[in-house]
Amino acid sequence: MKRATALLATLLSLTGILAGQQLPSAPTPIPSQADDDAWNRLSWITPDTQVSVSRPHHLPFRCSDLRVTDQGLSCEFRSIWTSSLDLDLPRAEVRSVSIRHDKRNFWIGVAAMSTLGFVVGASKSESGPYNYRAENGLIGAGLLGLATTPLVIAVVPLLPGHTVYRASSAISVPKASRSPGRVHALLLRHRSSTVTD
């Protein structure tokens, strides 16, 4: 009977202690020197450069006029549906920042499709209205370049940009203390009391 009472009292006090204790909060990440250097390089980006900012569990968004401080970044988001918005993000929420090269990638895509059209048009002299392969190649380049422009416009936003900052996955976490907590000390006392009984 003594043991059952002691066990019941221990369980009740244990639940009271556990209810009063707070769970340890997630450790705050400590940025490394490489992280700091990459973050400081963001301030070199010119204001008219379009960047893509990604956050954990969110789709990346594009913005320009990037302003960077040690605590976070802010930039201007433009959309065809709304007026421009100023977005502020703390540094802990920024997973990566990439520079977008959409105009350059668009012209590279059009040039690649036009080159393909030139090769196809010039490969057979009898397939076009002219006898000269160069003329047929130019017609093929123009036609294929114009025909694939909507496809290039659709694909260019899906291409990754040049990443200039990526938060490191290795986070320096302060080591937890090795001293036993209140619950552990209570269990040790209970064990020693049951042994003496």
First to last CA, the chain: 11
pLDDT tier at 111, thresholds 50, 70, 90 = very high
Q: How far apart are CA 12 and CA 182, in angstroms?
A: 14
26 belongs to a structural domain: no
Backbone angles phi, psi at 76, to 5 degrees: -105, 125
112 belongs to a structural domain: yes
> What are the helix and strand counts (H, E) for the chain?
6, 6
CA contacts within 13 A on the Cβ side of 158: 6
Structure tokens at 191: 């064990």
62 belongs to a structural domain: no
32 belongs to a structural domain: no
pLDDT digit string, tens, across residues 141-180: 888 888 999 999 899 888 888 888 988 753 433 444 444 4
Share of the chain above pLDDT 90, in %: 12
145 belongs to a structural domain: yes
91 belongs to a structural domain: no
Are residues 49 and 66 in contact, defined by beta-carbon separation less than 8 angstroms? yes
Q: How far apart are CA 56 and CA 171, in angstroms?
A: 15
Mean pLDDT of the chain: 75
Over 90: is that where the pLDDT of 185 sits?
no
Q: Which domain holds residue 108?
A: 103-155
119 belongs to a structural domain: yes
Mean pLDDT, residues 132-140 taken together: 82
39 belongs to a structural domain: no
- Total structural domains in the chain? 1
